[in-house]
């Protein structure tokens, strides 16, 4: 339901197209949305990847400590699997206004697409990947200087080398494909 322009490759593509948009990371926006949820008494449901770094219990504990009075529910789900009827009923009874999915791309986007219509009280769904891992302390975020200069991906690669394929696609494949497209269509742009 909400996709953020958080990649440095996308920012570079924007520059070439004459658009200088602000890079907003999911980790930063997540904290803002949680603070708004507390202030506006909104209910938040987190669909957490069962095999992720942070467990649902880690997320519940962190939310209780850092976001006092937040009405939150964290549910464990599998990547690529449908929610069970019991899980769906439990979430519906909770009546969330906002849902977050930690399943990672593209699973979290598909999960939101297929499940948001089944949750009529939810007004927004957002894939947050590993953002809760930063909040629970299971993973450290890149130093501010690396975030500012667009090298957060390098920090993630060092900390989580198993992400190399995703980082390669975002940092190498996407910019190359965009440059090919841009050069082919330069006269029409």
Ranges 3-17, 108-122, 160-174: which has the least confidence: 3-17
Query: In the predicted model, is pLDDT for residue 1 greater than 60?
Result: no
Task: Provide the angle, in degrees to the nearest 10, between the axes of the packed helices 8-16 and 174-184.
Answer: 10
Paired tokens of 123: 């007004």
Q: Model confidence over 138-159: pLDDT tens digits?
A: 999 999 999 888 898 999 899 9
Instruction: Note the pLDDT of residue 79.
Output: 83
Q: Model confidence over 61-113: pLDDT tens digits?
A: 999 999 999 999 999 998 877 788 888 899 999 999 999 999 988 899 899 99
Cα-based angle 162, 165, 167 (whole degrees, multiple of 5) = 95
Q: Please, which residues have CB within 8 angstroms of residue 26's CB and are 6 or more apart in sequence?
A: 4, 6, 126, 127, 128, 129, 131
pLDDT classification of 12: cutoffs 50, 70, 90? confident
77 by Cβ neighbours in 10 Å (0-12 / 13-18 / 19+) ranks as: buried
Instruction: Note the pLDDT of residue 3.
Output: 63
Return the percentage of the chain with pLDDT > 70, whole number.
97
Query: In the predicted model, is pLDDT for residue 2 greater than 80?
Result: no
pLDDT, greater one: 13 or 145: 145
Cα-based angle 170, 172, 174 (whole degrees, multiple of 5) = 55
Q: Model confidence over 163-174: pLDDT tens digits?
A: 899 889 888 999
Q: How many separate helices (H) and strands (E) can be counted in the chain? A: 10, 4
Whether the CB-CB separation of 120 and 69 falls below 8 Å is answered with no
Q: Break the chain down into helix, strand, coil percent, rounded to 5.
A: 55, 10, 35
Instruction: Note the pLDDT of residue 16.
Output: 86
Give the single-character DSSP code of 83.
P
pLDDT, greater one: 2 or 7: 7
């Amino acid at each position: 339901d909400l996709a953020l322009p958080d990649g440095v490759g996308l920012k570079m593509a924007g520059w070439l197209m004459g658009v200088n948009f602000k890079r907003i990371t999911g980790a930063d926006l997540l904290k803002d949305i949680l603070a708004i949820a507390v202030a506006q008494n909104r209910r938040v449901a987190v669909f957490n990847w069962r095999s992720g770094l942070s467990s649902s219990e880690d997320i519940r504990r962190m939310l209780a400590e850092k976001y006092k009075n937040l009405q939150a529910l964290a549910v464990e789900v599998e990547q690529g699997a449908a929610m069970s009827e019991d899980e769906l009923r439990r979430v519906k009874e909770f009546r969330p206004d906002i849902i977050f999915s930690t399943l990672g791309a593209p699973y979290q986007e598909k999960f939101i697409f297929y499940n948001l219509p089944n949750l009529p009280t939810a007004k927004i769904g957002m894939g947050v990947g590993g953002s809760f891992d930063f909040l629970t302390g299971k993973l450290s975020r890149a130093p501010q200087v690396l975030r500012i200069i667009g090298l957060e991906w390098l920090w993630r690669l060092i900390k989580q080398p198993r992400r190399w394929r995703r980082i390669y696609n975002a940092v190498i494949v996407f910019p190359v494909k965009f440059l090919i497209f841009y050069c082919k269509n330069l006269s029409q742009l």
